[in-house]
Structure 1
Amino acid sequence: MKALKYLNKYLLKYKWYLILGTIFTIISNLFGIIPAQLVRYALDLVGETLDVYYLFAGSALQSELYDTFAFTILLYGLLILAMALLKGIFLFLVRQTIIVMSRHIEYELKNDVYNHYQTLPTSFFRTHNTGDLMARISEDVSNVRMYVGPAMMYGINLIVLFILVISYMVTVNAKLTLYVLLPLPLLSVSIYIVNSIMMKRSQEIQKQLSALSTYVQEAFSGIRVIKSFVQEKHSFTNFKTEAEDFKHKSLRLAKVDAFFYPVIVLLIGISNILVIFVGGKEIMNGNLTPGNITEFILYVNMLTWPVMALGWTTSQIQRAASSQNRINEFLEVKNTLVSDKNIEKPLDGIITFKNVGFIYPDSGIQAIENFNLEISHGESIAILGTTGSGKSTLAHLLCRLYDPTEGEILVDGIPLKDYNVNEYRRQLGYVPQDVFLFSDSIANNVRFGSVDMPQERIELAVKDADLLRNIQDFPDGFDTRLGERGITLSGGQKQRLSIARAIARDPKILILDDCLSAVDTNTENIILTNLKRIMDERTSVIISHRVSSAKLADKIVVLDEGRIVEQGTHTELMGKNGAYKELYEKQLMAEEV
């Protein structure tokens, strides 16, 4: 229960739902107990009246006696019907309070978890896969809802019913009550054991189902690769193996499930037999009436479901505690990218790297080492290097997706750590190396950084990214909806749309992380020419492994294993006969070939 303490704040917020639900539970159980007493009165009335009825056989008084007897029985029947109706109404109100409360708590908890996810740094998402994140916000939160909803409702019902029924049964006959209750603990323990096995096997099935779903999703996402390599048969064989495992685990669950209801029926039957056997002796001793026996049998049946639910409720609490513990693990992860000063100001775009070093926390790889660079307002810098030289890491540091492990980055002479993170990022235009587009319209993808962006600005950004003609060829134009991760578009179109999204928000600092790798040389020249105009009076950082992307930059920096090996203009670096010239000549030769 320690992990579930986190939910107390929600229970306190919705305390009136819980209080009213408890009151309605008490009232509904009272209306459930009264019919059992009415049945006892009716049966005893029948037993006492029959002898008198036959005594006046053939007389007019017998007819009058019959009418009175029939009216009384009808009255009892109507009262039992009214009690059942009232019980149903209050059971409805119980669900409208406690179950509704659980839905409110589920909503709040999901919002809190999702909101917390968004505050966590990029390093967190590098070490946790998407499936695990999804499971905690869906499956785990649903398990918690089962605790604050049905499990709590059945738990309250069990407590209330036990207090009301057992206290009344004891006042009628303590000995019979003891015999009635003997099988109930055994019933609860049996259900708990069977339910625990079922729960364990259910979790195995869920895990296998997750693996099966992941395999199918991956297979359909990579269907072009599967077809290209003619691996349909191999893919089906793997799917069949996963499905066979799922079937085997499902059958194991079915075998345990087959024991569930027979065990319940057996133990309930034992309780009823004890009531009839012990009660029969009490009737012969003159301590009870037949009506009392019927009443006790009804009470046994009333207690059966709450006792059954005790095992289920215990399992649900265990599952909820386990799930909440998993949720708490993520909720306890704190965002390290915080600012004490929270400075908010328009940026001029003067960037200074001072002895910056960075080691990735998850892998321990030294990506940047002793990096020093000055970038003036409106200056464009090209950072070149081979794969793994640390180019993208610099973009991540500049966007403050990570903080340097050594040194510091200054923007306009102020440490980057002192800026309000969100306000700072609003003034950046970032085109990542791994383009991500949303399953939405083209227009909405462009205006993603500014929801109220006018259409004219969207069209201008798309035109500068050399994508306007392609969009105009689409039947729905800017309203064309993209598939998952932008699959509707080609690789080059996705990159150009990502560039349009970055420049449309009119950023103070523009960061292009190898964003032209999927376009041809001609399209690259058109985009770079357009970007040259956009980059005027705007600090720009162009990260690339292609020399052609660096020609228009004011300064070129060549990286190797996280260190600057050369820097200067294109002309200066060509005159040094170093790494830049070698890279330039290799790429020029490749283009000629």
Structure 2
Amino acid sequence: MNQTQTSKQAPTGLNAYLRLLSYVRPYWPAFILSVLGYALYAASSTAFAQVMKLLVDSIQDGMTEKRLFFPLLVVGIFALRGVGTFFGTYFMTYVARQLIHYLRLDLFKRFLVLPAGFYDKHSSGHLVSRLTFNVEQVTGAATNAITVLVREGLFVVGLMGYLLWVNWKLALVFVAVSPVIGLVVSYASKRFRRLSHRIQNSMGDVTHVASETLQGYRVVRSFGGTEFEYQRFLKASEYNRAQAMKMALTKAINTPVVQTIVAIALGILVWLALSPDLMGEMTPGEFIAFLTAASLMAKPLRQLTEINNTIQQGLAAAMDVFTYLDAPEEEDKGTKTLERAQGEVSFKKVSFQYAQDKPLALNQVNFTAKPGEMIALVGRSGGGKSTLANLIPRFYNATQGEIQLDGLPITELTLASLREQIALVTQQVTLFNDTLAANIAYGIKDPDPKAIEAAAKAAFVMDFAEKLPEGLNTLVGDNGVLLSGGQRQRIAIARAIMKDAPILILDEATSALDTESERFIQQALEEVMQGRTSFVIAHRLSTIEQADRILVIDQGQIVEEGNHQELLALNGAYAQLHQLQFHEQIQPEHE
């Protein structure tokens, strides 16, 4: 599949349909069975008009000996119609659900490999809306819409063929109004698609606002934001409602207009059919059959125009989904792998900016971390500490310069191999709605229960896990909502211990812990950092006094470098930070 930028022109409707058909291709036998079923439905339904011809002509000729034949024929026709409907509906639904299943899987798989910069620009609410609402819109187009399109489309083709066979001159009346119907449907299609895009985007807004509010309900209530959030949700939902009503208005107008055009054509046809010249060429049976077939045309035409709404919604959704499917994934051009790195990390004149119109977040950073060395990153908020740490596992790629692992540029390593060497603990802990054990062993296939327990003990998880009803098999709830901040942080540290990677990145790893817990965790971290290259981002300088080297980062540059005592002796930026924190700690004692 060719990867294109999301900023490129969106795929056309035809391209979207052809691309959807590529998902159908593996299930072509079921699709053929469905089409054959609908063909049987159309043929049997069209045959009803011919039955009317034979019936009227038999009555006209006084052929009463066929009295039993016609009831059996009618029953047979409806039986065939039922069989055709079953095959058509079941196999078309099977194909459609397979299409949606794999389309949803492809979209979710794409979300898993999109770069960090993508998530910086898109809210999770909008992305979840694409995965659920938008894909479900494609479902409507791929089930109900395609079912009606194939079934009623074949019926219309069958009826038109029959009309041309019975009396091609009269049939031309329907052919004459086809362009008018086409113009109406074309205008409605464009409007349906435009409104569908708006509805899908507005559903993303609804999901986004609801997700933010429900996740941050504590902040909302604490700061009196209940009414504000209600108004924000009301505005998003109202816009969605207004667009849906515009869609309903277009649909409500479109259907009767098409029906009126068909009725006018039917009226003209009856008027012409009653002329002596044409009547003289047709038997009474042919005349009744022709009118029956012409009147049967109204229902499938109405359904085809009504289903246009669903098709356009699904088409708009498919085009939107394909835009995300075509978004470029993380750049992974590396071909080399490492079994286990020694842990030497070098930054060589590394600069980075989040966007071209943004200032440099890092500017000409140079340093080398030796294997097993503990490097502390300190400085004011926004100085570039977390940015530097995020470049090591390549969540972002350096704008300039080069980062090396054991002398090898990290861009030459596959992302999987690079990230196998790194364990990460951040301030914002992410836990999954699973057991404590599953969260500790996350990403490890067939983990050893003893190893999980050992990691839990090392991170002091067992201190509280043993008090839980099911121990390490206790569910943690949505993002660990059933645990305290310190407990969640300990699980994250246990997860890093479990991974046993040669490089550790600790981004404010002890920030959520109380003083007593922090002391225990600090001991655990000191033990786990033995023999590993560690990058520790810390606000509290007391936690990194034992670091081999401290890098003071300000405005994207390393302004000071050395150990704790060396930097205090410089009496520079680090000394000022240390003095400020020292005064903050002793101030309460004087009070």
Question: Does the C-alpha gap of structure 1 residues 321 and 35 become closer, same or farther in structure 2, counting only changes over 3 Å?
Answer: closer
1:218 aligned onto 2:231: no
Any idea what SS the aligned residue of 1:349 has?
coil
Question: Does the C-alpha gap of structure 1 residues 3 and 187 become closer, same or farther in structure 2, counting only changes over 3 Å?
Answer: closer
Tell whether the 8 Å contact from 2:133 to 2:200 is kept in structure 1 after alignment: no
Give the C-alpha shift of residue 578 in structure 1: 2.2
Which residue of the partner structure matches residue 6 of structure 1? 19
Give the C-alpha shift of residue 448 in structure 1: 0.7
Question: Does the C-alpha gap of structure 1 residues 213 and 372 become closer, same or farther in structure 2, counting only changes over 3 Å?
Answer: closer
2:58 aligns with one of 19, 25, 45: 45
Which residue of the partner structure matches residue 436 of structure 1? 430
Which residue of the partner structure matches residue 9 of structure 2? none
Which residue of the partner structure matches residue 98 of structure 1? 92
Cα shift readout 1:292-347 (whole Å, capped 9, x = no counterpart)? 33322332243334433443565555545544443343333333532343223221
Tell whether the 8 Å contact from 1:188 to 1:307 is kept in structure 2 after alignment: no
> Partners in 2 of 1:580 and 1:352 — Cα distance?
23
> Partners in 2 of 1:208 and 1:122 — Cα distance?
24
- Bigger mean CA deviation after superposition, 15-24 or 570-579: 15-24
> Partners in 2 of 1:224 and 1:341 — Cα distance?
47
Which AA in structure 1 matches 2:431?
L
Matches within 5 A, 1:12-27: 12-27=25-40
Tell whether the 8 Å contact from 2:349 to 2:402 is kept in structure 1 after alignment: yes
Any idea what SS the aligned residue of 2:281 has?
coil
Which AA in structure 1 matches 2:324?
F
1:33 aligned onto 2:27: no
Any idea what SS the aligned residue of 2:366 has?
strand
Question: Does the C-alpha gap of structure 1 residues 34 and 148 become closer, same or farther in structure 2, counting only changes over 3 Å?
Answer: same
Matches within 5 A, 1:439-454: 439-454=433-448
- Bigger mean CA deviation after superposition, 253-262 or 408-417: 253-262
Any idea what SS the aligned residue of 2:526 has?
helix
Aligned residues: 574
Which AA in structure 2 matches 1:370?
Q
Which residue of the partner structure matches residue 375 of structure 2? 381
Cα shift readout 1:100-157 (whole Å, capped 9, x = no counterpart)? 2222222222222222222222122212222333343334434445555554454444
2:563 aligns with one of 559, 569, 575: 569
> Partners in 1 of 2:235 and 2:153 — Cα distance?
47
Which residue of the partner structure matches residue 56 of structure 1? none
> Partners in 2 of 1:364 and 1:234 — Cα distance?
31
Any idea what SS the aligned residue of 2:218 has?
helix
Which residue of the partner structure matches residue 552 of structure 1? 546
Give the C-alpha shift of residue 571 in structure 1: 2.2
Which AA in structure 2 matches 1:564?
I
Question: Does the C-alpha gap of structure 1 residues 309 and 344 become closer, same or farther in structure 2, counting only changes over 3 Å?
Answer: farther
> Partners in 2 of 1:259 and 1:6 — Cα distance?
31
Question: Does the C-alpha gap of structure 1 residues 223 and 377 become closer, same or farther in structure 2, counting only changes over 3 Å?
Answer: closer
Tell whether the 8 Å contact from 1:342 to 1:419 is kept in structure 2 after alignment: yes
> Partners in 2 of 1:8 and 1:254 — Cα distance?
28
1:531 aligned onto 2:544: no
Which residue of the partner structure matches residue 404 of structure 1? 398
1:296 aligns with one of 290, 315, 322: 290
- Structure 2 regions of 5+ residues with no counterpart? 1-13
> Partners in 2 of 1:444 and 1:19 — Cα distance?
45
- Bigger mean CA deviation after superposition, 242-251 or 285-294: 242-251
1:127 aligned onto 2:121: yes
Tell whether the 8 Å contact from 1:341 to 1:418 is kept in structure 2 after alignment: yes
- Bigger mean CA deviation after superposition, 202-211 or 510-519: 202-211
- Bigger mean CA deviation after superposition, 244-253 or 398-407: 244-253
1:461 aligned onto 2:474: no
1:342 aligned onto 2:336: yes
- Bigger mean CA deviation after superposition, 258-267 or 287-296: 258-267
Tell whether the 8 Å contact from 1:528 to 1:552 is kept in structure 2 after alignment: no
Give the C-alpha shift of residue 22 in structure 1: 3.1
Which residue of the partner structure matches residue 63 of structure 1? none
2:537 aligns with one of 527, 535, 543: 543
Which AA in structure 1 matches 2:78?
A
Any idea what SS the aligned residue of 1:2 has?
helix
1:333 aligned onto 2:327: yes
- Structure 1 regions of 5+ residues with no counterpart? 50-67
Tell whether the 8 Å contact from 2:350 to 2:364 is kept in structure 1 after alignment: yes
> Partners in 1 of 2:538 and 2:19 — Cα distance?
47
Give the C-alpha shift of residue 357 in structure 1: 1.6
Cα shift readout 1:198-233 (whole Å, capped 9, x = no counterpart)? 665566555545444443443333332333234445
Give the C-alpha shift of residue 463 in structure 1: 2.5
Give the C-alpha shift of residue 390 in structure 1: 1.0
Question: Does the C-alpha gap of structure 1 residues 119 and 32 become closer, same or farther in structure 2, counting only changes over 3 Å?
Answer: same
Matches within 5 A, 1:63-74: 69=64, 72-74=66-68
Give the C-alpha shift of residue 430 in structure 1: 0.6
> Partners in 1 of 2:266 and 2:372 — Cα distance?
89
Cα shift readout 1:39-61 (whole Å, capped 9, x = no counterpart)? 22112222332xxxxxxxxxxxx
Which AA in structure 1 matches 2:336?
N
Tell whether the 8 Å contact from 1:542 to 1:549 is kept in structure 2 after alignment: no
> Partners in 2 of 1:326 and 1:233 — Cα distance?
33
Give the C-alpha shift of residue 547 in structure 1: 0.4
Instruction: Pick the structure with greater CA Rg.
Output: 1
Question: Does the C-alpha gap of structure 1 residues 414 and 151 become closer, same or farther in structure 2, counting only changes over 3 Å?
Answer: same
Which residue of the partner structure matches residue 57 of structure 1? none
> Partners in 1 of 2:47 and 2:79 — Cα distance?
12
Any idea what SS the aligned residue of 1:179 has?
helix
Give the C-alpha shift of residue 93 in structure 1: 1.2
Question: Does the C-alpha gap of structure 1 residues 252 and 46 become closer, same or farther in structure 2, counting only changes over 3 Å?
Answer: same
> Partners in 2 of 1:362 and 1:309 — Cα distance?
52
Which residue of the partner structure matches residue 492 of structure 2? 498
The CA RMSD over aligned residues, in Å, is: 3.1
Cα shift readout 1:519-555 (whole Å, capped 9, x = no counterpart)? 1232212111111111112222111121022023222
Any idea what SS the aligned residue of 2:558 has?
strand
Question: Does the C-alpha gap of structure 1 residues 442 and 183 become closer, same or farther in structure 2, counting only changes over 3 Å?
Answer: same
1:171 aligned onto 2:184: no
Tell whether the 8 Å contact from 2:42 to 2:152 is kept in structure 1 after alignment: no
Give the C-alpha shift of residue 487 in structure 1: 2.3
> Partners in 2 of 1:238 and 1:7 — Cα distance?
36
> Partners in 2 of 1:586 and 1:200 — Cα distance?
58
Cα shift readout 1:394-442 (whole Å, capped 9, x = no counterpart)? 2111112122122211111211112221022123111123222222222
TM-score relative to the length of structure 2: 0.87
Tell whether the 8 Å contact from 1:349 to 1:377 is kept in structure 2 after alignment: yes
Tell whether the 8 Å contact from 1:438 to 1:482 is kept in structure 2 after alignment: yes
Which AA in structure 1 matches 2:112?
Q
